[in-house]
Amino acid sequence: MIYPDTFEEKIGFKEVRALLRERCLSSLGKECIEKVHFSSDTDEVNEWLEQVREFRAIQNSGIEMPLQYFFDVREAVARLRIEGTHLDEAELFDLQRSLDTIHKLVVFLRGNKDEETEEKNDRKALRHLTDDIKTFPELVRRIGQILDKFGHMRDDASPELARIRKELAKAEGSISRTLWSILRSAQSEGLVDKDVSPTLRDGRLVIPISPALKRKIHGIVHDESATGKTVFIEPTEVVEANNHIRELEAQERQEIIRILTEFSKEVRPHIEDIVDSYSLLATIDMIRAKAELARTIGGIELEVSKKPLIDWTRAIHPLLMLSLKKQNREVVPLDIRLENNNKEAKASYGRLMIISGPNAGGKSVCLKTTGLLQYMIQCGLSVPMSERSRAGIFRHILIDIGDEQSLENDLSTYSSHLLNMKNMMRTADDRTLLLIDEFGTGTEPQIGGAIAESVLEELWKQKAFGVITTHYQNLKHFAENHEGVVNGAMLYDRHEMRPLFRLEPGRPGSSFAIEIARKIGIPERVINNASEIVGSDYIQSD
């Protein structure tokens, strides 16, 4: 199932995706992060998680992995398909370093072909990424004959370039000597300050001088300073020499273009394979970002089973954890189990969990934690929970999470909930995970609760899994009367009147409306009257 942006936004995965992008080394990795997607293929998910597990093992081993140069030059290389085109020096330098990184990564991950080393066996998932990757060490070596270690064209890239640069250096040296001679003479006559030296203007060597004295030195005025207090004169004696330098520079540029164009002919037959090889850099960058995020949130890589299953211990909502960490606060971990049960185990777990408890007691956090972590697992991401946890695969994750910021009226909000319910009943099966927040709200409570119970009955018949939060008593009773459905209570400290944010499976939770009303100071006669209105059975049940 393809999940829309709105789904990822509601469960918080858009923020997780942003955290991954921040940890990428390159645009290659960021592009790959955008393609991270939910999969219901168990083998694929386990392969993704194994890649992260292996990468983290390499990081923890202290072995240096070649991750220096992640440049994306695919567009520049693809441009070479047109005859006569060439890469500029900067692009060629990026190509050299990134191709070298690709080659070193392939060698690193493949290991010694003749030996079945322990390291080689520990990198199977990462090694598979290199299966169809071609490397180009000879092109890297050839670029090294053209560019120096700073990415500039080497003097000996061709005999003609060496000749031009030698002549250029000779001409520049001659001009410099002539200018210094003229400058020293002008300084001795008091025409120019003692600390003045020749400078470049428009590629020509000139002497800075006061405007009032410019007629004392014969030559061409090329420019003046922003303040107008200095003009730049090219003495007549060096005009021809400067012209010659400009000609040599033009020849130098032409020769560089010729060298680059000739080298491009060597690259052209390999364009497709070179462009394809960058998929390795992109994927490794993405896996590295996953590993870095795992370290940040204390995540682990679970081994995922084929059957739908959630059996998590000390599971933590990663975004909530990062947010509270800034406030020096900690998240209360979640223990939750959704699994096909037997009658003996009915009290402790089932396929559907009905979570109840007071407002602001953590019901929605439980639901969103379940949704986000399961989605992360099936996108191949590490999740923060105990290593004793187990996870399975769901075909669909369906949500109905209210938007507290909604400006819609109750009727349209309830209509939206009903539309979600209709879609859930149409799609749900025994490999579906349902996440429904405040089930049945948005309309008159009695009929809202009845419709919610009827929908829940249908979803139960379809053998769906799910976490459902509610205040309705009838839904709490539903769990007691249906196999595979369990209640869950958000614990509340009745003495201090504060939520504990801990989920306790096996029993329903109370909204503690009476206790909260008392604490706030509602008169006892009003509370007693309210109790009589709802009836002693309801109060006793609560």
DSSP string for 282-295: HHHHHHHHHHHHHH
**Residue in this structure with the two tokens 């299966």, named with its chain if needed:** 131
Q: At residue 105, what are phi and psi to the nearest 5 degrees? A: -65, -45
pLDDT tens profile 70-124: 999 999 999 999 999 999 999 999 999 999 999 999 999 998 655 555 555 678 9
5, 183, 361 from 14: Cα distances, Å: 8, 66, 25
Residue 539: predicted pLDDT: 47
Cα distance between residue 175 and residue 170, in whole Å: 9
80, 113, 272, 479 from 269: Cα distances, Å: 10, 28, 8, 67
> CA angle at residue 105 from 292 to 121, to 5 degrees?
85
Residue 212: predicted pLDDT: 62
Rounded CA Rg of the chain: 36
Q: What is the pTM of this model?
A: 0.84
pLDDT tens profile 325-340: 999 999 999 999 999 8
Residue 439: predicted pLDDT: 81
**Residue in this structure with the two tokens 């934690």, named with its chain if needed:** 369
Structure tokens at 348: 């402790």
Residue 176: predicted pLDDT: 79
Residue 536: predicted pLDDT: 52
Query: How many Å separate Cα 349 from the centre of its chain?
Result: 35
Residue 411: predicted pLDDT: 47
Cα distance between residue 345 and residue 141, in whole Å: 67
Residue 509: predicted pLDDT: 62
* Of the candidates 93, 91, 97, the residue with the CA atom closest to the CA atom of residue 68: 97
Contact (Cβ atoms closer than 8 angstroms) between residue 382 and residue 52:
yes
* Of the candidates 129, 144, 380, the residue with the CA atom closest to the CA atom of residue 276: 129
Residue 349: predicted pLDDT: 84
Low-confidence ranges of the chain (pLDDT < 50): 345-346, 404-411, 539
Contacts of 337 (CB under 8 A, 6+ apart): 310, 311, 312, 348, 349, 505
**Residue in this structure with the two tokens 């400009």, named with its chain if needed:** 246
